[in-house]
């Protein structure tokens, strides 16, 4: 079992063995997930595919409409 102390500011250092196992590097984000009687540390997905479906379009447009809009903006 790996342990770490909590600082006055509430910070902890994740042991190197745990960072390696999770593939964590400097600047990565982690989530603390409450699972019944324990807290689980999980890496936060930085992959754009993880955000799929979060934004829904107000209306759909055809490919030709998109091209026309691009041509219009390019002319300005």
| 8 A C-beta contact, residue 12 and residue 30 | no
Q: Select from 56, 27, 57, 54 the least CA-distant residue to 43.
A: 27
Q: How confident is the model at residue 35, as a pLDDT?
A: 93
User: Which domains are assigned to the chain?
Assistant: 16-74 (2.10.260)
- Give the containing element (helix H, strand E) for 21: helix 16-22
Q: How many residues does the chain have?
A: 76
Q: Which two tokens stand for residue 52?
A: 């799929």
Q: How confident is the model at residue 26, as a pLDDT?
A: 92
CB under 8 Å to 28, separation ≥6 — which residues?
43, 44, 46
Per-residue pLDDT of the chain (76 residues; tens, 9 = 90+): 889 999 999 999 999 999 999 999 998 999 999 999 999 999 987 677 767 777 777 888 899 999 999 999 987 6
């Amino acid at each position: 079992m790996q342990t770490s102390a909590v600082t006055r500011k509430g910070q902890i250092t994740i042991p190197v063995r745990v960072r390696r196992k999770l593939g964590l590097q400097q600047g990565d984000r982690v989530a603390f997930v409450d699972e019944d009687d324990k807290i689980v540390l999980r890496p936060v997905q930085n992959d754009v595919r993880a955000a799929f479906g979060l934004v829904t379009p107000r209306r759909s447009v055809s490919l030709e409409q998109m091209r026309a809009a691009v041509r219009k903006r390019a002319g300005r």
